[in-house]
Amino acid sequence: MDNTTLLATLRRRHPSRFARHAAVNVGPGWHGIIVDLLARIDRLLSPEEVLVIHAIHGADGTLSMISLAHGGTAAAVRTLFDEARAEAARRCECCGRPGIPHQVGEGTRIRCHEHTEANDG
Ligand SMILES: [Zn+2]
């Protein structure tokens, strides 16, 4: 699945959670983590609680999310996101198998043994 398809799928499942110009840009190995994160957020939040996601991306081997929510909602979402980020730190961005940080080009990426040299997350 590419990121365009992932975002379209997430918008269908969670129509109120993404800003109009939201962007999702993570390696295919992390797509399942994002799908699970959104499902967990929807189970946690009441329908009245507003969360608007503007961006989810991988930055130097770390899962990152830019979103807007109010006080208690933001804190609850932060807890779930921190768990997703910890999971991503252990998963190859290419394939989702167990991985560790590797230097790839100018930056750091999470890679399994097989994808150590892969440049395209
Ligand atoms: Zn891999």
How close is the Cα of 88 to the center of ligand 1, in Å? 12
pTM: 0.93
Sequence-separated contacts (24+) of 11-16 with Cβ below 8 Å: 13/38, 13/39, 14/38, 14/41, 14/42, 16/50
- Ligand 1 geometric centre to CA of 121 (Å): 9
The pLDDT value given to residue 117 = 77
Q: How far away, in angstroms, is 95 Cα from ligand 1 center?
A: 4
Rg, the chain, Cα only: 14
Residue 119 has pLDDT above 80, yes or no: no
Confidence band (pLDDT; 50, 70, 90) for 12?
very high
For residue 40, give the 3-state DSSP assignment.
helix
Distance 97 CA to ligand 1 centre (A): 6
Measure 30 CA to ligand 1 centroid, in angstroms. Answer: 11
SS3 state of residue 61: coil
> Please, are residues 99 and 92 in contact by the beta-carbon 8 Å criterion?
yes
pLDDT, the chain, mean: 94
